[in-house]
Amino acid sequence: MPDDRQNYIDGEWTESHTGETFETTDPASPEEVVATYPQSDAEDTERAIEAADAASDDWGTTPGPERGRILTETGSLLADRKDDLTELLVREEGKTWSEAAGEVQRAIDIFHYYGAKASDLGGTVKSSSARNTNLYTKNEPLGVAGLITPWNYPIAIPAWKIAPALAAGNTIVIKPATLAPGVVHEMASALEEAGLPDGVINVVTGPGSTVGDAIAGHSAVDAVSFTGSTQVGNAVYDTATEDGKRVQLEMGGKNPTLVTDSADVEEAADIVSAGAFGVTGQACTAASRAIVHEDVYDEFVEAIVERAEAIDHGHGLDDPGMGPHVSESELESTLEYVDIAEDEGATLECGGNELDREGYFVEPAVFSDVDNDMRLAQEEVFGPVLAVIPVSDFDEGVEVANDVDFGLSASVVTDDHTEANRFVEEVEAGVVKINEKTTGLELHVPFGGMKDSSSETYREQGDAGLDFYQISKTVYDNY
Give the residue numbers annotated as catalytic, written as ranges. Answer: 250
Q: How far is CA 84 from CA 97, 174, 338, in A?
A: 11, 22, 36
- Using DSSP, state whether 399 is helix, strand or coil: helix
Radius of gyration of the chain from Cα atoms? 23
Burial call 43-67: b when 16+ CB within 10 Å, e when fewer: ebbbbbbbbbbebbeebbebebeeb
Distance between CA 240 and CA 255 in Å, rounded? 28
Query: Which residues on neighbouring strands pair with residue 138, listed in sequence order?
Result: 473
Q: State the DSSP H helix or E strand holding residue 133, giving kind and residue range, or none if neither.
A: strand 133-141
Dihedral class, residue 229 (left if φ above 0, else alpha if ψ from -120 to 50, else beta): beta
Helices (H), ranges, 256-360: 265-277, 297-309, 328-344
Instruction: Give the integer Cα–Cα distance in Å for 477 and 343.
Output: 70
Residue 214 and residue 75: Cα distance in Å, rounded? 30
CA gap 393, 398 in Å, rounded: 9
Cα-Cα-Cα-Cα torsion 429, 435, 437, 440, nearest 10 degrees, comes to -80
Beta bridge partners of 290: 257, 388
Q: What angle do CA 157, 432, 312 make, to 5 degrees?
A: 65
DSSP conformational letter for 430: S
Query: First CA to last CA across the chain, in angstroms?
Result: 68
Amino acid in position 453: S
Residues 6+ apart with CB under 8 A from 465: 114, 160, 163, 164, 446, 459
Q: How far is CA 411 from CA 281, 391, 426, 431, 433, in A?
A: 16, 16, 12, 8, 4
